[in-house]
Structure formats: structure tokens, C-alpha cells
């Protein structure tokens, strides 16, 4: 007797139907998700450009004295915050005070000489008037004697005496004219001008004002708000005018210099929004905007720029510095010059067909000056 195989009923295939449906669902959903992600990446691609070749920058000043001298007092130390006008250090003022006192005395002496010259000028004027009057009297006397001599009323000796007196009066007049001219020359030809307007007095006064200014420069003050950098100045050090004494880094005017590849700047323009993330504070972002774009690549400003006309030329993607102004630098943690950061610029350009049309018709022109190659 042979064994009979049990008949397979349709109800035994039901447990496999949900699995088939699930596989069918995955086959449909999987490509749809991939297509959606790809579409999103396509639409957003090209809108944002980013680089990690970016660093925070700040205005800084090199503090240097305007006069030479020995340092007698240092009032700040390294990493100390200062305000505009705060005293940083002082230079020995004693030599400058002595020079100012000497020039002040010299200025008083010049004033006395000018007053004496002015008095001499007035005296020379009076002498000249007297000499001209005497000359006229002697001239009339001489003419009268000559007329009387023709009539035989006076002797020849009287005529000769009158001629001699006339000649002496004329010589005295000429001497007084020269004396008046000399007195006028001492006053610069302007006897009625005040001492403060005469060249000689102006010269001494300028020297005095310079000595006074040097004395003020003996106290060196902070030109801007900031933080003192590396500093090792000590009392007793001798500084020459213009010699660097300490750096001062500004704390208010911070910006970011981002060095983008030239191929990333196709749609970047001034005013576009950006975000900045500093390596020191991961997860914290600052708002910014494009403030300016460099007129040339960084290599163009180097001491030895690339000579691309040589035979061993290799094309290298250049980087163009882009300056970004930080909009909310006062909010959040303290930012310091030199910190590394990551910059992302929103160009606002969509990679769709409509976005391409809008970008081609309404996007602002990007002005980038190219260096000579």
C-alpha cells in the first residue's frame, strides 16, 4: 500500500504573501528615498560654499614712542585690557623739561630784542625827521649866501661855511636813513606787526612748542581700546623714537579672512549672508556677511610671486581672500585674533532650472580683479 502525499491547500501559501508585499514596498520605497535625497542634494548643491581655511583677524597697533629716552615707569602688563587714553608707560621727562625751560627763556629774550628794535626804530624815525629839517635849513642858508655873494654883501668864506654845513646836514640825513632801514630790517620790514607774527619770534616759538609736545609724548597712551600683547618692557630700558615697545590688539573690530578656492567664488558677492564656526567653540555659530573680496589672489601679494611663464608650470588652484564682517561678535564667547574657523556663505543660488534662470538674470555681478599672469 503506497503512502499518499497530503494535498497542498491554498491556505498554506497565505503566510508568504505579507513578505512579498514587504519586499515590494521596499523595492518601491528604497529608490524613492534615494531619488529624494539625490534631488535635495542637487537642488541645494552650489548654494553654499564653505572653507576651513579661515582665521579671525583684528586691528592691532604697534606702540612705539615718538621721542627717545629712558623708560621710568611701566603701568601695563602682558594680556592686560586698556581703554583709549590709558597710560602705558612713561619716558624720563627731565631732559625735555630742561629743553623747554631753555627755549622759553630764549623766547623771552627774542621778545625783549624785538621790543628794543621797535624802540630803536621809533628813535631812528625821530632822528631822521630832525636831520631832514636841518638839511632843509642848511640848504636855504646856502642858497641865501650864494645870492648875497653875487651882490658882494658877504665874503666867500661865509659861502664856503654855508656849503660845508649843508653837506654835513645831508650826510647826517643819509646816515639816519640807513639807521632807520636797519631798525626796520630787525623787525622784518614790518615795524607795526606784533611779535607773535614776526619770523624770528615764530621760529623760537615753534621750537618751544616742539619741546612742549615732546614733553607730552613722554607719556605714552593707548590709541585704541584693546589688549596688550607680548610685552617685556622694564623701567630703565632706553627706547629710540619709533622703536617697537609692545603690541596692542583691538577687541572691538574683529573680522574673518577666509581663503576660498577661486572655483568657489563663481556666485559669491558682497553682502551675502554667512555663518562662522570657531574651532575653539564647537557647535557655536556667529552670523556674518561678505564685506569685501580681495582684488588678487594671495600669491600676488607674496614677496616672491609665482612665475607662471616658466617651462615647468603646473596649474594650481589659487585662493582668493574674502573678508567677512561678524554681525554679532559681542554675543557669546570671546573671540580672539588668530583663531581658526569654518566659514559657510549662502549664495542664495538654487541648482534647479528655475534657479539657474533666476541666477543668470538677477544675480549681482561679482567683481574680482585678476592679477597679471
- What's the CATH number of domain 65-92+218-243, 2.60.120.10, 2.40.50.100, 2.40.128.20, 3.40.50.2300? 2.40.50.100
Q: What is the pLDDT of residues 290-321, one digit of tens each?
A: 999 999 988 888 888 777 777 777 888 899 99
Alpha carbon of 268 to those of 8, 298, 301, 307, 316: distances in Å? 71, 17, 22, 28, 21
What local confidence, expressed as pLDDT, does residue 271 receive?
94
Q: What is the pLDDT of residues 205-225, one digit of tens each?
A: 899 999 999 999 999 999 999
pLDDT at residue 189 is higher than 80 = no
Place of cell 558682497: 270
What local confidence, expressed as pLDDT, does residue 367 receive?
40
Name every residue whose Cβ is closer than 8 Å to that of residue 111 and which is 6 or more positions away in sequence.
Answer: 195, 201
Alpha carbons 55 and 176: distance in angstroms, whole number: 81
Domain 44-58+247-362, CATH class in plain words: mainly beta
Alpha carbons 85 and 222: distance in angstroms, whole number: 5
Cell numbers for 337, please give them.
585674533
Task: Calculate Rg over the CA atoms of the chain.
Answer: 47
Alpha carbons 261 and 275: distance in angstroms, whole number: 18
Q: Where are the domains of the chain?
A: 44-58+247-362, 65-92+218-243, 96-214
Highest mean pLDDT among 43-52, 175-184, 273-282: 273-282
pTM assigned to the model: 0.63
- Mean pLDDT value of segment 128-154: 79
- Mean pLDDT value of segment 340-367: 63
- Mean pLDDT value of segment 184-198: 69
pLDDT at residue 24 is higher than 70 = no
Q: What is the pLDDT of residues 52-100, one digit of tens each?
A: 999 999 998 999 999 999 999 999 999 999 999 999 999 999 999 999 9
Q: What torsion, rounded to 10 degrees, do the Cα atoms 203, 207, 213, 218 define?
A: 170
Mean pLDDT of the chain: 81
- Mean pLDDT value of segment 262-290: 93
Tally Cβ neighbours within 10 Å of residue 8. 8
What local confidence, expressed as pLDDT, does residue 34 receive?
79
For the chain, what percent of residues have pLDDT higher than 70? 82
CB neighbour class for 291 (10 Å; exposed up to 12, middle 13-18, buried from 19): middle
Q: Which helix (H) or strand (E) holds 216?
A: helix 199-217
What local confidence, expressed as pLDDT, does residue 372 receive?
36
- Mean pLDDT value of segment 149-164: 78
Helix, strand, coil percent content, the chain, rounded in steps of 5: 45, 20, 35
Q: Which helix (H) or strand (E) holds 132?
A: helix 94-150
Place of cell 568657489: 264
pLDDT at residue 11 is higher than 70 = no
pLDDT at residue 133 is higher than 50 = yes
Name every residue whose Cβ is closer than 8 Å to that of residue 309 and which is 6 or more positions away in sequence.
Answer: none
Alpha carbons 373 and 356: distance in angstroms, whole number: 31
Q: Which helix (H) or strand (E) holds 290?
A: strand 285-293
Cell numbers for 250, please give them.
583691538
pLDDT at residue 8 is higher than 60 = no
Amino acid at each position: 500500500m503506497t503512502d499518499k502525499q497530503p494535498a497542498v491547500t491554498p491556505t498554506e501559501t497565505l503566510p508568504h504573501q505579507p513578505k512579498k508585499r514587504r519586499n515590494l514596498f521596499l523595492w518601491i520605497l528604497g529608490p524613492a528615498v534615494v531619488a529624494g535625497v539625490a534631488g535635495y542634494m542637487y537642488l541645494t548643491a552650489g548654494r553654499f560654499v564653505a572653507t576651513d581655511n579661515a582665521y579671525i583677524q583684528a586691528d592691532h597697533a604697534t606702540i612705539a614712542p615718538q621721542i627717545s629716552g629712558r623708560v621710568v615707569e611701566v603701568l601695563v602688563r602682558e594680556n592686560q585690557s586698556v581703554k583709549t587714553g590709558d597710560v602705558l608707560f612713561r619716558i624720563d621727562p627731565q631732559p625735555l623739561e630742561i629743553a623747554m625751560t631753555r627755549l622759553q627763556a630764549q623766547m623771552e629774550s627774542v621778545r625783549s630784542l624785538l621790543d628794543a628794535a621797535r624802540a630803536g626804530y621809533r628813535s631812528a624815525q625821530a632822528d631822521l625827521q630832525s636831520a631832514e629839517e636841518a638839511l632843509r635849513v642848511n640848504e636855504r642858508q646856502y642858497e641865501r649866501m650864494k645870492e648875497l655873494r653875487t651882490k658882494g654883501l658877504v665874503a666867500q668864506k661865509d659861502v664856503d661855511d654855508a656849503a660845508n654845513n649843508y653837506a654835513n646836514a645831508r650826510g647826517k640825513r643819509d646816515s639816519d636813513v640807513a639807521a632807520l632801514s636797519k631798525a626796520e630790517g630787525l623787525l622784518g620790514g614790518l615795524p607795526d606787526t606784533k611779535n607773535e607774527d614776526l619770523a624770528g619770534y615764530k621760529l623760537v616759538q615753534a621750537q618751544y612748542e616742539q619741546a612742549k609736545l615732546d614733553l607730552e609724548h613722554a607719556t605714552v597712551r593707548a590709541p585704541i581700546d584693546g589688549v596688550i600683547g607680548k610685552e617685556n618692557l622694564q623701567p630703565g630700558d632706553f627706547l629710540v623714537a619709533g622703536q617697537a615697545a609692545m603690541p596692542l590688539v583691538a577687541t572691538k573690530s574683529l573680522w574673518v579672512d577666509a581663503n576660498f578656492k577661486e572655483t568657489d567664488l563663481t556666485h559669491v558677492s558682497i553682502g551675502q549672508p554667512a555663518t562662522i564656526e570657531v574651532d575653539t567653540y564647537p557647535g557655536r555659530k556667529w552670523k556674518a556677511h561678505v564685506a569685501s573680496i580681495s582684488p588678487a589672489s594671495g600669491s600676488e601679494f607674496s614677496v616672491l610671486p609665482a612665475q607662471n611663464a616658466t617651462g615647468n608650470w603646473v596649474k594650481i588652484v589659487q585662493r582668493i581672500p574674502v573678508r567677512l564682517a561678524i554681525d554679532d561678535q559681542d554675543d557669546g564667547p570671546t573671540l580672539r585674533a588668530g583663531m581658526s574657523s569654518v566659514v559657510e556663505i549662502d549664495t542664495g543660488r538654487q541648482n534647479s532650472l528655475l534657479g539657474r534662470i533666476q541666477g543668470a538674470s538677477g544675480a549681482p555681478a561679482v567683481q574680482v580683479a585678476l592679477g597679471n599672469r
